[in-house]
Amino acid sequence: MHPGEWSFLDSMWRWASFATDAGWTQAAGRVAIERLRHERLARLLAWTRRHSRFYAAHWGAAPRHDLRLADLPPVHKAALMARFDEWVTDAAVTRKGVEAFTRDLGRIGESFLGRYAVFSSSGTTGVPGLIVHDADALAVYDALGATRLGALAPAWNWNQPLSGHRYALIAATEGHFAGIVSWERLRALHPWFEANARVFPVTAPIREICDELERFKPTVVASYATVLRALAHEKDAGRLAITPSVLWYGGEWLAPIARDHIERAFGCRVAGDYGASEFLNIAFECPRGSLHLNDDWVVLEPVDADYRPVGPDTPSASVLLTNLANHVQPLVRYELGDSVTLASKPCGCGSPFPVIRVDGRRDEILRLDDARGRDVPVMPMALCTAVEEGTGEHRFQVVQTGPRALRVRLEPHRRGREAAAGVKDALARFLARQGLAGISIRVETGVIAAHPVSGKFRQVWREKERASA
């Protein structure tokens, strides 16, 4: 087997084991869930202390026995990345090797060292991260998706190749991002899925995306919330003729009014999940629209600005994540940064998993005028991807200040004018491809205001007067 190939038999064996476990756990109820979480956490903490030099030092003052999460200090992406080789528990996994792997875009979806998946991310903190997942963790994510994504069943089911569905993903494709890597891994493992699934780059012009979707005729469309909103606008205008049976969103917050608009436009269910590069399937929507936390495999701790736990029905300043599935690159009390609210009441759907509410990414769709004065939507994820992949910059903000004008803020940069010119050029090239040549782009330097706890910041929006026009 080629080092970059996935083993179908090994993946399916692991998947079957964890899918059986996930189904049994859901049926067994809260007592079984809490027992399993306790056992998995104890194994993870013992393994991490023995095999991760970073955590062994980070936890130096913590008790040697009966270790609890509350005894441990939080960790942050920047600190972990700075000590990457001490963080991981497999000496064959090095930052140098992982960075070389992710620089090769031809290897998106392949395995690293024949046994790991690598996701690159920056998110809304502007700090690039490289997250390595082992085979058991990947099987857990697959199993949770197959057994608990009830809002999308039966359309979203990897194990029914005869269902006749056609799957479209509209996402960032020019990097080893979680969405595209997971999609390409599934295509490599399942020939039936490869034959019935296509990826569309989110950076393509909206008209081009619509034309390609019409040719493909998908029954399941997966993308970011803002992309689905833009597609609903095109559907309403009569410029998109597809009839999917279900739409899936992730990566961004979706307002209830926007969800209603998308469902009216397409006449089908809109469902989503809450995930991250650090754990793909943190929570799934049930048919009633509630987000249920997969707390048999992931621990979320909503905290205030001083990292103290907040009670139910109280929005947190940030949230700490512990991944119970992944042992090659342990994440224990890792600051994810989102504001999460743990609901005090169970959902009426009957699920034993707790309900959470997440205040996530809230970037806006820009609406710029082309040379003829026609309104052109620009998706924030597409714009950010174009800048990040074109320049390597991750900490920037883009504000629409007029019908054909943008303002870009960069933090003071050691490359100064060179960095500013690079960002301006990358944006201009991206906008020209959208049919928006000649847009005014003003680059300035200044402090980017971030949340004092999570470090997250808003990245793309329109000035109020333009947004209300």
d(CA 10, CA 351): 30
H-state helical runs in 222-292: 225-236, 256-266
What backbone phi and psi angles, to 5 degrees, belong to 417? -60, -30
What is the pLDDT confidence band of residue 432, given thresholds at 50, 70 and 90?
very high
Provide CATH code, domain 8-359. 3.40.50.12780
pLDDT confidence of 100, banded at 50, 70, 90? very high
pLDDT band for position 388 (cuts 50, 70, 90): confident
**In the prediction, which pLDDT does 450 show?**
63
Please check whether residue 5 is in contact with residue 27, taking contact to mean a CB–CB distance below 8 angstroms.
no
Q: Which of 204, 167, 205 is nearest to 183 (CA)?
A: 167
CA 40 to centroid of chain Cα atoms: 24
Query: 15 Cβ partners below 8 Å, 6+ apart?
Result: 139, 142, 143, 146
DSSP labels, 338-376: -EEEE-SS--TT--SSPEEEEE------EEEE-TTS-EE
Burial (CB count <10 Å: 0-12, 13-18, 19+), residue 29: exposed
Contact between 277 and 131 under an 8 Å Cβ cutoff? The reply is yes
Where in the chain are the domains? 8-359, 366-467
Confidence of residue 102 (pLDDT cuts 50, 70, 90): very high
pLDDT at 3: 64
Tell me: pLDDT of 71 over 80.
yes
CA distance 458 to 446: 15
pLDDT band at 148 (very low <50, low <70, confident <90, very high): confident
What pLDDT is stored for residue 459 in this prediction? 85
Mean of the per-residue pLDDT values for the chain?
89
Q: What is the pLDDT of residues 24-69, one digit of tens each?
A: 998 999 999 999 999 999 999 999 999 999 999 999 988 888 888 9
User: What's the CATH number for 366-467?
Assistant: 3.30.300
Rounded to the nearest angstrom, the gap between the alpha carbon of residue 440 and the centroid of all alpha carbons in its chain is: 31
Give the ranges where 238-350 is alpha helix by DSSP (H). 256-266
pTM of the model: 0.84
Q: What is the pLDDT of residue 127?
A: 67
Q: Hey, what amino acid is at 217?
A: K
pLDDT at 159: 46
- Angstrom distances, CA of residue 415 to CA of 391, 406, 412, 421, 459: 12, 22, 9, 10, 21
| pLDDT tens string 2-22 | 567 778 888 889 989 998 998
**Is pLDDT above 80 for 164?**
no
Identify the pLDDT of residue 456. Answer: 67
Confidence tier at 364 by pLDDT (50, 70, 90) = confident
> Residue 133 and residue 362: Cα distance in Å, rounded?
28
Helix or strand (DSSP H, E) at 10: helix 8-28
In the predicted structure, residue 230 carries a pLDDT above the cut 90: yes
- pLDDT reported for residue 140: 96
Residue 451 scores a pLDDT above 70: no
Tell me the three state secondary structure of residue 245: coil
* Residue for token pair 């493992």: 189
Of the pLDDT bands very low, low, confident and very high (cuts 50, 70, 90), residue 163 is: low
Q: What is the pLDDT of residues 105-132, one digit of tens each?
A: 999 999 999 999 999 986 555 567 999 9
Query: Between the CA of residue 355 and those of 294, 347, 392, what are the distances in Å?
Result: 10, 7, 37
Task: Give DSSP secondary structure letters for 90-121.
Answer: -TT--HHHHHHHHH-GGGTTSPBTTTBEEEEE
Per-residue confidence (pLDDT) for residue 161, from 0 to 100: 46
- The Cα–Cα gap between 179 and 137 comes to 15
